[in-house]
Amino acid sequence: MPATASAPVRRRPSGEPPPLPREDRWIRRIWVLAAVLLLGAGLSVLIATTDVVQTADEAVLSWFAEARSSALTDAASLVALLTTFAAVMTLRCATVLVLVVYRPSATWWSSWRPWW
C-alpha cells in the first residue's frame, strides 16, 4: 500500500450531462454597480434640469402651513425642547442610572420561574 493514497476518481453515470459552467459573481456585481451609477446620474440630471424638488418642497410646506394651528405649534415647541443639549445629556444620564440600579433586579426577574 502506498504511503499517500489518492481519492477515487468520481465518474458520472452514463447519460448524465456534464455540470454547467460556474457563473462569475463579480460580473453580477458590476451590473448592479452600473445600474446604481446610471440611476444616480439620471436623478442628478433630472434634479439639475427641472424644478421637481422645488415643486415637491413647496407642496409639502403649503400642506404644513394649512395644517398649522396654535396647539400644534405649542406641541412642536415642547418636542423641540427635548433636542437641546441639556435635555439629551439628562436623558442619557437617567438611562445609565436606571440600567445600573435595575440591572440586578432585571436579571433576577428574567431568571425567576413561578412555583406553580
According to the model, what pLDDT value does residue 32 have?
A: 94
Helix axes 52-67, 25-49, angle to 10 degrees: 70
According to the model, what pLDDT value does residue 39 have?
A: 97
According to the model, what pLDDT value does residue 87 have?
A: 95
Cβ density class 35-69: b for 16+ within 10 Å, e for less: eeeeeeeeeeeeeeeeeeeeeeeeeeeeeeeeeee
DSSP 28-73: HHHHHHHHHHHHHHHHHHHHHHS-HHHHHHHHHHHHHHHH--HHHH
Question: Which residues are CB-neighbours of 81 under 8 A, at least 6 positions away?
Answer: 87
Below-70 pLDDT ranges, the chain: 1-5, 7, 9-10, 12, 104-116
pTM for the model: 0.36
